[in-house]
Every structure is written in C-alpha cells, then in structure tokens.
Amino acid sequence: MVTPKTRKSFARTRTGLSLIALAAGAMTLSACVSPTAGPSGLYARPIGNAPVTANPTAYSDALVCLGTYARQHRLASPRMAVGRISDYTGKVEYEGGRKITQGASLMAMTALAKSGARQVERFDTSVSELELKYANNKLITDAPMANPLEAGDYRRIMAGQIAGSDFHIVGGITELNYNIRSSGIDAYVGDADPRDTKGIFNGRLYVMNVALDLRLVDTRTLEVVDVISYQKQIIGREIKAGVFDFFNGNIFDISAGEGGLEPMQLAVRALIERATLEFMANLYGASGPEVCLSADNDFLNYDDPTIGRTGALTPAYDNLEQNNAGTREDPNRWHNTRSRSGSSERNSRY
C-alpha cells in the first residue's frame, strides 16, 4: 500500500537522482576545459578538422575557360590593375561591424587571375615604395655580404623598371536591400485541456539582394571604356517545430529547428566574377560562352597547369607535374591527418 509518506520518499529519491544527473553532466562538461595547461601547453584542444578547400562560384569555371581560350588562341592580355572597390551601402551590424565584405578589391584580383589576365600591383604598394626609397638612398643590396660591415653592391634604380597598367578596375558595392519579399507560417495545435499535448510549427522564407557597379578605365587616358552593374538575390530560410506535454507529472518541452542564409560575401564574389568575365571577354575579343562550349573548343576540359579555380601562378621552377593549379584545389593536399583516398581522379596522381 502506497502511503503519503511513501510518495514523499519517492519524490525525494527522484529529486536526488535528478540533482545527481545534473551534477554529473556539469562535471562532464567541465572535464573538457581545464584551468591548468596540459603537456601540450593548451587548456583545451580546438574542435573542427575541416580541410582548406577552393572557394569557387558558379562563374569560376567560365573564368578559367576564358583564360585557357586566350592562351590557346595566343590572345595577349593587357596589363590589368585593381583600385578601390569599396562598400558604399553604409550598412553595419548592431555591434558596429560592416555587413558587407571590405575585400572586394582582393576578390577582383583573384577573378582576373582566374581569367589568365596579366596584373600589376596598384592596390598596396607600401613595401615596393619603401624598398624604392631605401634603394634610392643606396641602403639595399641584392648580393649577400660575407661581412655585414663591408660595403656591398647596392641595388640600382633603372628608368622604366616598373611595368605600367593598360586598364584598371574601380567601383563599389552600392546596394544591400533587406527583406525584399518574405513569407511564413505559424501553426499551433493542441486540445483545450491545458494538460494535453501541444504542438507548434514555424516556417520562414525571406529574400534580400546585393548589387555592385564597376567600371573599366583606360589608365593612360582615364577614359571609362566599360561599365557594368549587377545585382544578386540571396535567400534565407528558418524552420522550427516543438512539442509540449505533461507525462506522469513531468513536463516535456522539446523543440528543434533549422535555418540557413545563402552566404552574402560569396554573393559579392559571384557578382565580381561575373563582371570580370564580361570585362575580359571584351578585352580578349571572345564572343561569349560559346567559345568554351562548342564541340571543337571545349576549353572547360583543358587542363591548364597554371590556371585554376583558386587563381593562377607563374611557375618559378619546372615542377608543374606535381605542383600546379589542379593540385591547389585538392582538399587533402598538405593536410596532416586526412587520407588521400578522397582525392578526385584528376588530382589523385599528384
């Protein structure tokens, strides 16, 4: 026979077990972080082991194809430079940071490299200017000295030693529009009895966009020879469901959700790559995408060892068989813990 005293005893026992379980959970979590550094010198080992991968957009393959097309047809690239591509949206986060990347100029340089364009540096010339100043004062040498106190051969400054640019790209990110269109649903289901099971469901979809305006300028005459304006829409979603119920005197409140926003900065990169495609197709004299997709000129499958979706390189040594644009895209290359069984067939031989 269950007496009130027995019920109280059971309740105390159940409460004690709950407290023990909570204490054990807290101790388990605290074991992951120690106030004393271990033998490795770390308080805790960082989580995550995803390898570094290429960061292409839907237009990266077309840029690589365009560069390969130009080389196969011996189409010389003009010397290109990139100036400021600034964020003119004025949008900032609540904490004060910018909503849009401040590295659009760097993205444009990478896009030009993917297209096989020759580039000269005009964005950050601080090191070159400093070395030019030191060389002008005869403070820099390119010959090793056995005794640093002995006077060495200093670097000469030659007239015309710096290559000039033919065209340069400037512009900015000009739009960031939130919530162009949104839709959602909220559903709540449950009996009128407050102790019966209740359920809730929420779903949201929303669309925003980002836009940029770029111009191609003739460096010698400062004539604007090409102007492009593009926008890209970005979609986000959010789903949440939950259940609330009483069971044997216990309360159960369980919920789960999932959400995602298309990467905003990757959208900016896609805009820049599309604009760079149009600029370089005009400078190369390419008619359009058909130069890559025709039956006779499928340059998308041409294995150019110096141009890839990560950019382009000028070989310093004759080692392109083992160190090329293709191997730079391999996520397992140089990684100290990943096996090479996951490499693509193209890169597995490297």
Strands of 107-166, DSSP E? 118-119
Mean pLDDT, rounded, for 296-310: 72
Q: Is the pLDDT of residue 88 over 80?
A: yes
Fold of 60-120+163-172+208-233+264-340: Rossmann fold (3.40.50)
Q: Which pLDDT score, from 0 to 100, does residue 251 have?
A: 72
Judge whether residue 11 has pLDDT over 50.
no
pTM: 0.80
According to the model, what pLDDT value does residue 39 have?
A: 84
- Strand residue runs (E) in 88-197: 118-119, 167-190
Query: How far does CA 69 lie from the centroid of its chain?
Result: 27
Query: Beta strand 224-247 with 198-218: parallel, antiparallel or unpaired?
Result: antiparallel
The tens digit of pLDDT for each residue in 35-55 reads: 888 888 888 888 888 899 999
Indicate whether 174 pLDDT > 50: yes
Residue 258: exposure state from Cβ atoms within 10 A (0-12, 13-18, ≥19): exposed
pLDDT confidence of 172, banded at 50, 70, 90? very high
Is-contact 80 120, C-beta < 8 A? yes
User: Helix, strand, coil: what percent of the chain each, to 5?
Assistant: 30, 30, 45
Give the 3-state secondary structure of residue 262: coil
Looking at the predicted structure, is the pLDDT value of residue 220 above 90? yes
Average pLDDT over residues 102-127: 96
pLDDT averaged over the chain? 83
- Nearest alpha-carbon partner for 310 in 35, 15, 4, 60: 60
Report whether 169 contacts 216 (CB < 8 A). Answer: yes
Q: pLDDT class for 348, splitting at 50, 70, 90?
A: very low
For residues 17 and 273, the model is more confident at 273
What amino acid is encoded at 239 in this protein?
A: I
Q: Which residues pair with 231 in a beta bridge?
A: 211
CA dihedral 69, 72, 75, 79 (to 10 degrees): 80
pLDDT of 10 reads 44
In this predicted structure, what is the pLDDT of residue 171?
97
